[in-house]
Amino acid sequence: MAAEPVYKQGWSPDDIAWEKFDRAKAEPWLVDAIKSAALVEYNAPDYVGYLKRVFPDPSFHPVIEQWGREESQHGLVLGRWAEMADPSFKLEEAFARFRAGYRPAHFDSSDETSVRGSKRGEMIARCVIESGTSSYYTAIKEATAEPVLQEIAGRIAADEYRHYKLFYETLQTQGEADLSFWKKIVIAVGRAAESDDDEIAFSRYCATVAASDVTTRPYSRAACMRAVSAATLRVYRRRHIEKLTRMIAKAVGADPQSRMVRLAGAALWRMLRVRAGLLGATTGAA
């Protein structure tokens, strides 16, 4: 068995072997999923501004800015791959529509308080997101046969895992009083539930519906979320869900190896299997 490549921090788009791209192996359903992911990742600058308000310490700002640059780069390379797979897709055009239509209030607010209620709450929420993205891109890497997407997804998954560690370590250094275990659970579950919000659904719409077709194909959050969920469930395997659950458990202060966490992972996997069946998606058991 060939050794898995180790992707280190500090890579650039020029490091990717774009010449190995094989359009025949770029499955249309996965191309659409990548288009949507590109828009969300590319939107990092708005999150950078928000996090710098919540964490006003100037010494932490370069760390946030570096995180934002890496996230934006993820969007850039995913968008470039999607443009190769589907020449009708234009990252900058789709992103302009997405950014114009998706504008949460806290992006433009001057409030220095996290929407999670505290700096600790904000870092728990960030850990939840990085847990999800790390597992998602790992799943994509293993689901696709297209060699360039395999490399891109592997690089992004490694970055997202490093981002998780960054936010987890930041969580531990906050001078605020610790949150109760159940408050942490509420924040984590609440942020995970927001994966069904307009950011994900509207990114799917802007990524897959041309500007010229918006009159005949108006935005439907429910329909877009069904498409997003079907694609996501198609790539996930049980090991990805178990890893995601352990990472979130660590962020809320639970023992990742505990029986409770194993049961939670198993329950989440069963729920996703049921959802996949309802949507007609395919999930493996490995």
Tens of pLDDT, residue by residue over 52-67, are 999 999 999 999 999 9
**Rounded to whole angstroms, how far apart are CA atoms 31 and 79?**
10
Picking from 196, 203, 199, the residue whose alpha carbon sits closest to that of residue 222 is: 196
In the prediction, which pLDDT does 191 show?
A: 86
Q: Using 50, 70 and 90 to split pLDDT, how confident is the model at 153?
A: very high
Higher-pLDDT residue of 286, 157: 157
Q: What is the mean pLDDT of residues 161-187?
A: 94
Residue 62 is predicted with a pLDDT of 97
Task: Answer yes or no: is pLDDT of 1 > 50.
Answer: no
Residue 278 pLDDT > 60: yes
Per-residue pLDDT for 256 more than 50? Answer: yes
pLDDT, average across residues 142-157 = 97
Please provide the average confidence, as pLDDT, over all residues in the chain. 91
Distance CA 264, CA 243 (A): 11
Q: Report residue 8's pLDDT band, with 50, 70 and 90 as the boundaries.
A: confident
pLDDT band at 5 (very low <50, low <70, confident <90, very high): confident
Residue 211: name the closest of 135, 75, 101 by CA: 101
Q: Which of 285, 234, 214, 238 is nearest to 33 (CA)?
A: 234
Which pLDDT value is given to residue 65?
97
Q: Do residues 89 and 98 touch, judged by C-beta distance below 8 A?
A: no
pLDDT in tens, 70-104: 999 999 999 999 999 999 999 999 999 999 998 87
Tokens of 7: 């992707």
pLDDT over threshold 80, residue 2: no
Question: Nearest to residue 153, comparing CAs of 36, 95, 74, 45?
Answer: 74
pLDDT for res 286 = 57
C-beta of residue 37 within 8 angstroms of C-beta of residue 31: no
| Residue 207 confidence (pLDDT) above 60 | yes
- For the chain, the domains span 25-218
Q: What is the pTM of this model?
A: 0.92
CATH of domain 25-218: 1.20.1260
Q: Is pLDDT at 283 greater than 70 in this prediction?
A: no
